[in-house]
Structure 1
Amino acid sequence: MKIEVKYFASIREATGLTHETVTLNAGATLTVDSLRTLLAQRSSGLREALATGRPVRAAVDHVMRTGSFELADGCEVAFFPPVTGG
């Protein structure tokens, strides 16, 4: 299973990455939350940017999804902080 992961805004700044491809064993079951946990274990920048409890939004194939959404092979997951403004 391959997942294309993209990082935006402060998450991109914290990780130093714009995107990466994550490869998992075929048949693996992965949700947005479990991907977030897996990525957070890879480096201190990712751990800080994707920490549980930190407000992070995720879009899967350009559609906003919750943490329990199951990912499929070949999908694109984008992580970004909530948008604020004024």
Structure 2
Amino acid sequence: MNLQLRFFASLREALACSEEAIDIPSQIKTISHLRSYLRERGGQWAQVLAEGKPIRCALNHEMVPEDTALQEGAEIAFFPPVTGG
């Protein structure tokens, strides 16, 4: 399955990557699975996307939970938690 990944704010800085086209194995079905798959790259990927770290996700410009199913050709965006005052 082909996806377009986008990383924003502190995630982009830590990974030194703002976007990436990726072809993932067929067993990767959800955003949560995708996040685990990306952690397998090790190093900063494992740290930044570590399980339990709060990261927001969007599928085709719509905020969604991590158990959302992936779609061929979709854009998946990862955001750090937003704070404000």
TM-score by length of 2: 0.92
The answer as to 2:78 corresponding to 1:79 is yes
> What secondary structure, in the 3-state scheme, does the structure 1 residue paired with 2:78 have?
strand
Query: How many matched pairs?
Result: 85
How do residues 39-54 of structure 1 correspond to structure 2 at under 5 angstroms? 39-54=38-53
1:32 matches 2:31: yes
Q: 2:40 corresponds to which letter in structure 1? A: Q
Q: 1:79 deviation in Å?
A: 0.3
Over residues 10-68 of structure 1, what are the superposed CA-to-partner deviations in whole Å (9 max), with x where a residue is unaligned? 1111100001111024x545201000000111131111111100000000000011111
8 Å contact kept, 2:57–2:63: yes
39-48 or 50-59, larger mean C-alpha shift: 39-48
| Counterpart AA for 2:48 | A
What's 2:5 paired with? 5
Q: Any unmatched runs of 5+ in structure 1?
A: none
Name the counterpart of 1:62: 61
Whether the 8 Å contact between 1:56 and 1:79 is mirrored in structure 2 is yes
User: Structure 2: which 5+ runs fail to align?
Assistant: none
Secondary structure of the structure 2 residue equivalent to 1:45: helix
The structure 1 segments of at least 4 consecutive aligned residues displaced by more than 2 Å after TM superposition are none
* TM-score normalised over the length of structure 1: 0.91
